A and B are shown apart, each in its own frame.
Chain A
Amino acid sequence: MADVADRPAAIKAVPVRHPGRWISAVIVLLIGSYVVGTVVTAVARDPTKEGGGWATVAHYFTAPLILRGVLLTLVLTVCAMAVGIVLGIVLAVMRLSPNWVVAWVSWIYIWFFRGTPVLVQIFFWYNLNILLPHIGIGIPFTSLWLQADTNTLIPSFVVVLLGLGLNEAAYMSEIVRAGIISVEHGQTEAAMALGMDRMLLMRRIVLPQAMRVIIPPTGNETISMLKTTSLAYVAAFPELFTRSDQIATSTYAVLELLIVASIWYLIMTSVLTVGQYYIERRFARGSQRQLPLTPLQRFRRMLVTFHAPPPLPIEPPVVIGSEHR
């Protein structure tokens, strides 16, 4: 063992200069401020609006109709993704089933819903009343029959939910399937050797591990869904985009309301991005010895050094997931 005093001093060196980073930062700043500046002043100078366009934007940004639209957009996103994820998992497990009838049903579902535009699907559900003016259930060839008008049974929310959710399920099932396949085969074997049946080992062993692969693209899908909800416009469902368009048509403040809607969409997607990051961190449990830094920690570190990627902190090893059960 070398004596502690023998240990040479830690290396202190002058860091390499990175003039390229400073130059590119200046160029980006110049171009960026020019583009943003042009738009900002153009909206401000809108002659048709009293007090300029930004006053209109500010006015409608918190208008009750818009806020309710934001809420409905969120509700629709959550519900459509819930339908998509649950049905997607079912379809993925079906697709990998040894029962070929089940596997084929799943294949055909995915083929159909991935192969037709979601806009067409929403229109289809919207116009279902032409095809089936009444929907009923009962026992065939008897008078025991419950029947309802299709339009009252399927309100516009359900139309859009069906359109978006069923379409999403097709995409989600492929994401889930990729996740399932990514889990090492030894895991399935170990579970089988312990006497677990297919459903149990899927639920307890494979899917929890597949989550790490499934979550990043699911976050992507959720963000994409948040924006795709604007297609609800065609079914006259009053979410954010439908509302802002209605206001724009009646007030002629078209550009202003597009800006209002865009800012709200950006706020919502930003929140989702942060949420996704923390969910990913949670599911990294058991797969990484050291959890990655949170964005806040990374930001703080970046402020300290603009030069090099920060070194990992020297800390006692974190016991990952020690809070878990």
Chain B
Amino acid sequence: MVKAESVYKSYGRLEVLRGIDLEVSPREVMCIIGPSGSGKSTFLRCINHLEKIDAGRLSVDGELVGYRQRGDRLYELPEAEVCRKRSEIGMVFQRFNLFPHMTALENVIEAPIRVKGESREVASERGRRLLDRVGLAEKVDVYPNQLSGGQQQRVAIARALAMEPKLILFDEPTSALDPELVGEVLDVMRKLAEEGMTMIVVTHEMGFAREVGDSLVLMDAGVIVEEGKPREVISNPQHERTRAFLSKVL
């Protein structure tokens, strides 16, 4: 589903990604952990072309992200094409980023109506069902600032699901939440994983990574330090760096 081959990215002089290689198969849940500044979020943002990579190859579903290849030449994709590809990839942000001027339902149905061209009736019908699925059937007409952080993040997940994505990227979805609200968001994510959604999750929730994740990746300073089955990586880390990191977060 996602394939990265020696992906590099820098901001000016600062090299954020220094050769990332990894592969995510369909229905896989990959968790990425690592200290802040290690490039996890940047890598996630590269996958839906919110950031451009400098070198290497990154593809989703066999198609290059942001480019088209003809012969051995790369052509930048036009905006419409980039948007179409982004619409197939969901993204959930650390700070929720709900649209504050729209109710929960309006947040969910906005993109299906405006981007996919669905009718308001069809979109609303599915939007209500999605909000029900994340346990917010009662909050359909409520504005984001009247919701708790956990509720906002669940609306954000419903918003991503409304586009029927083939892949969802989670950028530290529980890091901005009060501890007692983390569980409700993780529960929704766990259900999604069970239903077979392909997910890449940048997280600090080791419990979630161990129980829900199919694979675990530890990034540090722009490279992948260790990769494997979550249980094995957590219980028997092969690298000193992994051991040091795990000892701090476990």
The proximity string for B residues 76-111 relative to A, scoring 1 for CB distances below 8 Å and 0 otherwise, is: 000110011111111101010111111100100011
Indicate if B70 sits at the interface (CB-CB under 8 A). Answer: no
Q: Contacts of B101 on A, CB cut-off 8 Å?
A: 208-209, 285-287
Given the known A-B contacts A193-B86, A194-B110, A204-B110, are A286 and B143 also in contact in the complex, defined by CB atoms under 8 Å? yes
Indicate if B150 sits at the interface (CB-CB under 8 A). Answer: no
Quick check: A187 and B91 within 8 Å, CB to CB?
no
A191 to B159, CA, bound (A): 11
Quick check: A192 and B86 within 8 Å, CB to CB?
yes
The proximity string for B residues 158-178 relative to A, scoring 1 for CB distances below 8 Å and 0 otherwise, is: 011001000000000000000
29 contacts between A and B (CB under 8 A): A187-B99, A189-B93, A190-B99, A190-B156, A192-B83, A192-B86, A193-B48, A193-B50, A193-B91, A194-B87, A194-B159, A194-B163, A195-B84, A195-B85, A196-B83, A197-B83, A198-B79, A200-B115, A204-B110, A209-B99, A285-B143, A286-B144, A287-B101, A289-B145, A319-B146, A320-B143, A320-B146, A321-B143, A322-B141
Indicate if B114 sits at the interface (CB-CB under 8 A). Answer: yes
Measured CB to CB, the closest approach of chain B to A112, in angstroms, equals: 30
Q: Contacts of A289 on B, CB cut-off 8 Å?
A: 145-146
Quick check: A196 and B145 within 8 Å, CB to CB?
no
Quick check: A205 and B143 within 8 Å, CB to CB?
no
Given the known A-B contacts A186-B95, A320-B143, A321-B143, are A194 and B100 also in contact in the complex, defined by CB atoms under 8 Å? no
Q: Looking at chain B, what size class is its interface with the partner chain?
A: 35 or more
B binding-site residues for A, Cβ under 8 Å: 48, 50, 79-80, 83-91, 93, 95, 97-103, 106, 110-111, 114-115, 141-146, 156, 159-160, 163
Measured CB to CB, the closest approach of chain A to B79, in angstroms, equals: 6
Q: Contacts of A191 on B, CB cut-off 8 Å?
A: 99
Quick check: B97 and A187 within 8 Å, CB to CB?
yes
Given the known A-B contacts A197-B83, A289-B145, A321-B143, are A205 and B93 also in contact in the complex, defined by CB atoms under 8 Å? no
A208 to B89, CA, bound (A): 25
Quick check: B93 and A190 within 8 Å, CB to CB?
yes
Given the known A-B contacts A195-B163, A197-B80, are A189 and B86 also in contact in the complex, defined by CB atoms under 8 Å? no
Q: Contacts of B50 on A, CB cut-off 8 Å?
A: 189, 192-193
A binding-site residues for B, Cβ under 8 Å: 184, 186-187, 189-198, 200, 204-205, 208-209, 285-287, 289, 317, 319-322, 324-325
Q: Contacts of A208 on B, CB cut-off 8 Å?
A: 101
Additional A-B contact list (17), CB under 8 Å, known A189-B50, A285-B101: A186-B93, A186-B95, A187-B99, A189-B93, A192-B50, A193-B48, A194-B159, A195-B83, A195-B86, A195-B111, A197-B79, A204-B110, A204-B114, A205-B99, A209-B100, A286-B145, A287-B101
A266 to B142, CA, bound (A): 41
Q: Contacts of B146 on A, CB cut-off 8 Å?
A: 289, 317, 319-320
Residue of A nearest to B159 (CB): A194
Q: Contacts of B99 on A, CB cut-off 8 Å?
A: 187, 190-191, 205, 209
A320 to B100, CA, bound (A): 12
Residue of B nearest to A321 (CB): B143
Q: Contacts of B91 on A, CB cut-off 8 Å?
A: 190, 193
Quick check: B110 and A189 within 8 Å, CB to CB?
no
Measured CB to CB, the closest approach of chain A to B13, in angstroms, equals: 22
